[in-house]
Structure 1
């Protein structure tokens, strides 16, 4: 779910992520992903916050490791041959199969909604992300020229198909994507903290901490709309 909040990607795009999609960045902040209508081809990049990277790495070494029939941890996946890595799902079910949208909805989305006591369509995360990104464009733009450039970069970040893409050189735009995404993450997190929607939690079990964080994310999404 953290990937959805960080990137505004679609559920099926997140479910299709493989080890190879993340391996190329050395399990850092960038993940390759499919796009709507790309027929399985990785045509866009997802940029994660540092917090989500830590959560994903922990997931690989704990939850995923338990259900991986080969018992592989992050250090093992780093050395996995590329062809095998591109065939190996990042997210595994309890029976060692790739996540499906239905599995994610029943095991993660629905329980989080139940705990938060709210009703939401999962696609609203994508709308929330875009809305927050647009709201924060002015905050990270120092001039009208930079604001217009950032609008175009956002279109690239979301991999939208449009005839109105930037007049700027594409190589410059793509180089700006990671930094642009990082600025958005920082602004979003600052906004949440300023409204006291992220609080210091005492040490609890991992599952309880994750449930609490999911509730905060969902509440923030509702509040911001």
Structure 2
């Protein structure tokens, strides 16, 4: 498929996936991606393998925003501090070449955890006492154990460790599919009829 389709390149280690559709009562039924408790299952697995607050926040933001891993992991202090609300952050998009062109929105609880991470957990690794209001706009929010910017590949290590623990063949990109699926389901359940569903979906 062409790049514009948004599909992923095949990955050799991902030959089998738990994200599939299964015939049931003559209808296609989505599994895993339609699991409303999927983020909880992922967080439970992360807790079991010793995830830090950093991994938890990234996972929450993925499931609450539908953003890509890089769009969350590579957030800058300025992306969050300059946003209109504490539950928002500016980020780049595919094809924007790093330019911040969109907002992602997350829950108040995630915002609270994010501020705690920046003002407390992050300081432990950077050895810098500066907090959210004093840090430079162009420094990365999420850092590794050496105090430098967290890399996308390094975050995948922690994700894969948790997935191996709970037996889920799930990559973070599926969080995007889960986000869209649950939001579409929510719209459908709230719509009074089919015409209202299509009206809300297109707005």
1:26–1:91 Cα change, 3 Å: farther
Aligned to 2:78: 20
Aligned to 1:99: 150
Aligned to 2:182: 132
Which SS does the other structure have where 1:91 is aligned? coil
Aligned to 1:119: 169
Q: Which runs of 5+ in 2 are unaligned?
A: 1-58
Structure 1 residue 140 displacement after superposition: 3.8
Which SS does the other structure have where 2:89 is aligned? strand
1:142–1:22 Cα change, 3 Å: farther
Aligned to 2:88: 30
Which SS does the other structure have where 1:78 is aligned? coil
Residues 1:54 and 2:112 are matched in the alignment? yes
Aligned to 1:89: 140
What TM-score does the superposition give when structure 2 sets the normalisation length? 0.64
CA distance in 2, matches of 1:77, 1:121: 31
Instruction: String of CA shifts for 1:180-223, please: whole Å, max 9, x gaps.
Output: xxxxxxxxxxxxxxxxxxxxxxxxxxxxxxxxxxxxxxxxxxxx
Give yes or no for contact 2:93–2:101 (8 Å, CA) kept in 1. yes
Structure number with the higher helix fraction is 1
Which SS does the other structure have where 1:42 is aligned? coil
Q: Once superposed, what is the RMSD of the aligned Cα atoms? A: 2.0
Aligned to 2:34: none
Residues 1:150 and 2:200 are matched in the alignment? yes
Residues 1:78 and 2:133 are matched in the alignment? yes
Give yes or no for contact 1:67–1:94 (8 Å, CA) kept in 2. yes
Structure 1 residue 62 displacement after superposition: 2.9
CA distance in 1, matches of 2:128, 2:84: 21
Q: How does 1:184-199 map to 2 (within 5 A)?
A: none
Which SS does the other structure have where 2:101 is aligned? strand
Query: Which of 93, 102, 105 is equivalent to 1:44?
Result: 102
Q: Which runs of 5+ in 1 are unaligned?
A: 154-225
Give yes or no for contact 1:26–1:78 (8 Å, CA) kept in 2. no
